[in-house]
Amino acid sequence: MISTLLVANRGEIACRIFRTCREQGIRTVAVHSDADADALHARVADTAVRLPGAAPAETYLRGDLIVKAALAAGADAVHPGYGFLSENPDFARAVRDAGLTWIGPSPEAIEAMASKTRAKELMGIASLAESDVTEARLPVLVKAAAGGGGRGMRIVRRMEDLSAALEGARAEATSAFGDGEVFVEPYLEHGRHVEVQILADTHGTVWPLGTRDCSLQRRHQKVVEEAPAPGISEGLAEELRTLAVRAARSVSYVGAGTVEFLVADGRAHFLEMNTRLQVEHPVTEAVFGIDLVAEQLRVAEGHALEKEPPRARGHAIEARLYAEDPARDWAPQTGTLHRLAVPAGVRLDTGYTDGDTIGVHYDPMIAKVVAHAPTRAQALRRLAGALERAELHGPVTNRDLLVRSLRHEEFTTARMDTGFYTRHLTALTAPAPDPYAPLAAALADAHGRSRFGGWRNLPAQPQVKRYEVAGQEHEVRYRCTRDGLAADGVRVVHADAHTVVLEVDGVRRRFEVFAYGDEIHVNTTRLTALPRFPDPAAQLAPGSLVAPMPGTVVRIAEGLEEGVPVAAGQPLIWLEAMKMQHRITAPAAGTLTALPVCAGQQVQPGTLLAVVEELSS
């Protein structure tokens, strides 16, 4: 019987595993980097062990340090979570060799399936060699052999881009997983990403726990997942389950795992087997009424599964909340998460609480929100409504994108595929702030500012405030009168520091206002208060390229120096932030007139990276 469990992970998944452990009466041990010293997962565990450093390569990817931490804390079992070392056979062996229980499949099974190239060979599928790629075979996908989460992946549509895609994918895979092996496979433009959750014990029983659809993806990383996969015929679903069980049995699999497919033209194309728990496992838990982590622990203790899995009931949908700006190439965001609250009736899995900091070192996912209902339509409505009413105060998030995605006709009718955001991102990210949010912010700010009340002997001059909303400046005007605050075109029913009620054309609307310095949240609209008189020194020269996020300059284009010509769209600088690489490109054809940064340099948002002087027409 497991008595003390160390989770070799961080954030949301560590907190989720700890929750099951508490219910089971199992003591918990967290590991944390220096950057995570005050993180929620380190706070909620019974014991926490420091891993010196901040980068994954020196902390969460150091299996030797994690095994030492488990032994030092008196743990008798290790759960890897997902990502990091969860699919590393050497780590699994090290855990077992230390006399600890490994919560997962055997190192041999991980070894057989952890490399996507070897997994394809096991399933009788050949990958393309780099030399096999021709113009006729485009587009292709360059993909990391180890790991997942969309890292180390590049779509290649032109032969001249292949070398750069291979180089970039190798660099990103090495940074994220410690393994730079990549391979090439055909890229199916309009396929659906469908997977099967499996659970197997040591007694020969393998459960295929239904299908999941994970087609809504950005940068090859899933954003919305649901179970069961809608619009899949029972015949195809049975084929997927059969293939998943076959894959599991081929490596004598034990524990929880997922077999992933791309479904196109009614056919299933094997992608990979993930030998770990998936991020999206809660939708399967909701539909089958089970706790997959608890089942993982029972299997590791040698207990047998029932011969048949539980019956599926209803439909579940999960949305991943990220601190990122989808309208700016999914740029990750950092800062203080002042408030995180979702309405009752949905499941919230998160590694953050109010006041926590979203840093630069790790994935920018804030939380997963899951809705379960008797039908897909009901689950969709419940999840979209909960996200719309959620209180998210802090960095920019993808919340609005999620709500619009869940309500998009292509998604509600289950006609989506992995190209959904390629087709619809511009429309889904079009700014649509509440037009009365700036006025509500100004009135809340003005409440109580006058020491002598609102009465004046002469008509009051309008007060003016400026706000930035979704990249656009808004100016609002209001007046202090003997009857209180007033604004043209609306009736101010009530205004205090946190609540403003406006009546427009006979309809009353209530606004909840929360200010954190210059950052203001009015219902679901995020605003930034602007100074009355802009600082002239803050103006940048035309063509200036600034860091969109905090990160590290990992690469500068070869031969790039001041005075050289650059082409429009040419990659100039590569930034690494939150385990992903981001290209900074030339905004127009011109001459590079400034390059004040160098490789290895840490930068903050707004740091000047380069200046391109545009060619005169």
* 424-453 confidence digits (pLDDT tens): 999 999 999 999 999 999 999 998 565 444
Cis amide linkage into residue 139, ω under 30° from 0: yes
Q: Is residue 535 part of a domain?
A: no
Q: What is the helix (H) or strand (E) element at residue 568, kind and residue range?
A: none
Co-location of 149 and 200 in the same domain: no
Identify the burial level of 425 via C-beta atoms within 10 angstroms of its C-beta, where 0-12 means exposed, 13-18 middle and 19 or more buried.
middle
Residue 538 clears pLDDT 60, i.e. is over it? no
E strands, 39-190, in order = 47-51, 77-79, 101-102, 140-144, 153-156, 182-186
Domain that holds residue 466: 437-530
What whole-number distance in Å separates Cα of residue 573 and Cα of residue 554? Answer: 8
Co-location of 200 and 266 in the same domain: yes
Look at residues 530, 563, 592 and tell me which one is the last residue of a structural domain.
Answer: 530
Q: Is residue 380 part of a domain?
A: yes
Contact 119, 87 (CB under 8 A): no
Quick one: residue 252, left, alpha or beta (phi over 0 = left, psi -120 to 50 = alpha)? Answer: left
Residue of 194, 226, 232 whose CA lies nearest to 402 = 226
> Domain containing 521 — which CATH number?
3.30.700.40
Residue 460 clears pLDDT 70, i.e. is over it? no
| pLDDT for the residue 183 | 83
Look at residues 151, 186, 221 and tell me which one is the last residue of a structural domain.
Answer: 186
Co-location of 293 and 387 in the same domain: yes
Number of domains the chain is built from: 5
Q: How confident is the model at residue 123 (pLDDT cuts 50, 70, 90)?
A: confident
> Domain containing 336 — which CATH number?
3.30.470.20
Kindly report which listed range (68-72, 333-337, 456-460) carries the lowest average pLDDT score. 456-460
Co-location of 280 and 388 in the same domain: yes
Look at residues 402, 428, 454 and tell me which one is the last residue of a structural domain.
Answer: 428
| pLDDT for the residue 615 | 84
What whole-number distance in Å separates Cα of residue 206 and Cα of residue 571? Answer: 48
The alpha carbon of 477 is separated from its chain's Cα centroid by a whole number of angstroms, namely 38
Kindly report which listed range (131-140, 336-345, 354-363, 471-480) carries the lowest average pLDDT score. 131-140
Cross-strand bridge partners of residue 373: 315
Residue of 223, 191, 566 whose CA lies nearest to 369 = 223
Co-location of 377 and 246 in the same domain: yes
Co-location of 453 and 392 in the same domain: no
- Reported as a single tens digit per residue, the pLDDT across 486-516 is 999 999 999 999 999 999 999 999 999 999 9
Contact 283, 316 (CB under 8 A): yes
Q: Which two tokens stand for residue 277?
A: 């728990």
| pLDDT for the residue 451 | 46
What is the average per-residue pLDDT within 85-104?
97
Cis amide linkage into residue 326, ω under 30° from 0: no
| pLDDT for the residue 536 | 54
Co-location of 341 and 271 in the same domain: yes
**Biggest CA pair distance of the chain:** 88
Residue of 26, 24, 83 whose CA lies nearest to 59 = 83
For the chain, percent of residues with pLDDT exceeding 90: 73
Residue of 520, 501, 366, 378 whose CA lies nearest to 438 = 520
Q: Is residue 227 part of a domain?
A: yes
Q: Decide: helix, strand or coil at residue 58.
A: helix
The DSSP code sequence of 29-86 is: EEEEEGGGTT-HHHHHSSEEEEESSSSGGGTTT-HHHHHHHHHHTT-SEEE--SSTTT
Residue of 158, 155, 153 whose CA lies nearest to 136 = 158
Co-location of 136 and 265 in the same domain: no
Q: How confident is the model at residue 457 (pLDDT cuts 50, 70, 90)?
A: low
Co-location of 409 and 350 in the same domain: yes
Q: Is residue 109 part of a domain?
A: no
Co-location of 281 and 320 in the same domain: yes
If you compute the radius of gyration of the chain from its CA atoms, what whole number of angstroms results?
Answer: 26
Enzyme catalytic residues: 276
Amino acid sitting at position 269: H
| pLDDT for the residue 452 | 44
What whole-number distance in Å separates Cα of residue 343 and Cα of residue 204? Answer: 42
Identify the burial level of 291 via C-beta atoms within 10 angstroms of its C-beta, where 0-12 means exposed, 13-18 middle and 19 or more buried.
middle
Co-location of 253 and 310 in the same domain: yes
- Reported as a single tens digit per residue, the pLDDT across 396-429 is 999 999 999 999 999 999 999 999 999 999 999 9
Edge-to-edge strands, sheet with 608-614: 544-546, 608-614, 590-594, 565-566
Q: Is residue 108 part of a domain?
A: no
User: What's the whole-number average pLDDT of the chain?
Assistant: 91
Q: Is residue 280 part of a domain?
A: yes
- Reported as a single tens digit per residue, the pLDDT across 510-530 is 999 999 999 999 999 999 999
What whole-number distance in Å separates Cα of residue 289 and Cα of residue 27? Answer: 24
The DSSP code sequence of 399-424 is: HHHHHHHHT-HHHHTT---TTHHHHH
| pLDDT for the residue 606 | 82
Amino acid sitting at position 593: T
Cis amide linkage into residue 228, ω under 30° from 0: yes
> Domain containing 604 — which CATH number?
2.40.50.100
Q: Is residue 576 part of a domain?
A: yes
Contact 578, 360 (CB under 8 A): yes
| pLDDT for the residue 134 | 87
> Domain containing 179 — which CATH number?
3.30.1490.20
Contact 444, 513 (CB under 8 A): yes
Q: Which two tokens stand for residue 606?
A: 């707004």
Strand 206-218 to 221-227 pairing? antiparallel
> Domain containing 74 — which CATH number?
3.40.50.20
Co-location of 326 and 344 in the same domain: yes
Contact 211, 228 (CB under 8 A): yes
| pLDDT for the residue 292 | 98
What whole-number distance in Å separates Cα of residue 144 and Cα of residue 596? Answer: 33
Write down the residue that tokens 């509500």 correspond to: 440
Q: Which two tokens stand for residue 329?
A: 């190439």
Q: Is residue 111 part of a domain?
A: no
